[in-house]
Structure 1
């Protein structure tokens, strides 16, 4: 690992660094609609979404010499995101099913306003308790268990490496909350932009360090600025 990734509390210690990339926009993202994993509509990226990801992939190109693997959720929009990023970094693409988005059941494809109108009591309960699932969907507590299982597999398989992970809002937030030792309810206070970059390093003694949250391509070099 380069000196540029050995910063913060973990300076000098071997770390496994995950560069977490949210997928670009789809028709549901643009409409601010609920969009889950493989159990939903599974829409592809829009042209705008592909352009967002290509900008992010270009921004990450300085990682090409240290990243050999891009791990992706199996959901179409993240696979397409992963393919674009892997192509830019000349890295292999592998799937990790645990990093798929939460399933939203009967809320799939509906906007927040539509859900609030049609399922007012269920939405109020869901917003207040991570153990509550949308009708026919999945709770944050349930999703956390599978996401952390997937995280353990990735950390074991890529110990000491820098790995790009293309995933979704909920899994990325759950990984961040875990890394910070924050309550799972903290996911309701985080916001991630399409094609954004979040960077978290994990150390062998179970420490973790968040290096970047919701980063977007900028004109200056993020590596020279010490963000990675």
Structure 2
């Protein structure tokens, strides 16, 4: 496949586009509880979550001719999401460990309110500084390093291609912040719905462009209870 090119303010440059899909709901998503990577409970998608992903996969079906690879975080819910998307698009599925969710340590499985009640000072510190990690967990700063390393690998391996990535809230936000040149603290100001689609293009001259953020198939109501 020859590299795609994009002509914009910076002229012509090869384009690699990542279609970032957040996983569908799990028991923790529905409960609005912290759910980390492989070090946590690692719950599967619920039936509702599978249905959400299938709607999104059908919505992405026009990309089938240009997408040969779906890259998934190795966490169960994102592998399941990747399998559903890859099956719909007729693409192969590969895993990228760097795109796993942040580890939340002792907060795993607890709701925001429960954490605020049981760990008030730790929660305050975590919300105020990206270098602060939950007890036994991982900070946004630490996660950024591994996510961007994974991003570099994907951009090198799939240069000039369109790739679907099934991942989680934190890695997707970190990739968006990086693409925009925004401070890492911007992750606290973004919302991503289950099975939503975010699209970022990266150019060979170093530029990046956010094309779409937190989009849902028209069959789903973005203001439905439990979406946010």
Distance in 2 separating the partners of 1:5 and 1:47:
40
Give structure 2 stretches of 5+ with no counterpart: 220-228
Give structure 1 stretches of 5+ with no counterpart: 220-228
Deviations 1:106-125 (A, max 9, x none): 00000000000000000000
Assess if the C-alpha contact under 8 Å between 2:126 and 2:133 holds in 1: yes
Q: How does 1:59-138 map to 2 (within 5 A)?
A: 59-138=59-138
Are 2:33 and 1:33 aligned?
yes
Distance in 1 separating the partners of 2:177 and 2:149:
15
Q: How does 1:44-63 map to 2 (within 5 A)?
A: 44-63=44-63
Change in Cα spacing, 1:41 to 1:173, as seen in structure 2 (3 Å) is same
TM-score (norm 2): 0.92
Q: Secondary structure at the residue paired with 2:156?
A: helix
Q: When the two structures are aligned, how many residues end up with a matched partner? A: 218
TM-score (norm 1): 0.92
Assess if the C-alpha contact under 8 Å between 1:174 and 1:184 holds in 2: yes
Deviation at 1:191, TM superposition (A): 0.3
Distance in 1 separating the partners of 2:158 and 2:137:
31
Assess if the C-alpha contact under 8 Å between 1:9 and 1:209 holds in 2: no
Deviation at 1:21, TM superposition (A): 0.1
Report the aligned-residue RMSD.
1.7
Assess if the C-alpha contact under 8 Å between 1:10 and 1:209 holds in 2: no
Q: How does 1:1-228 map to 2 (within 5 A)?
A: 6=6, 9=9, 12-218=12-218
Deviations 1:146-184 (A, max 9, x none): 000000000000000000000000000000000000000
Distance in 2 separating the partners of 1:213 and 1:11:
24
Structure-1 residue corresponding to 2:224: none
Runs of at least 4 residues of structure 1 off by over 6 A? none
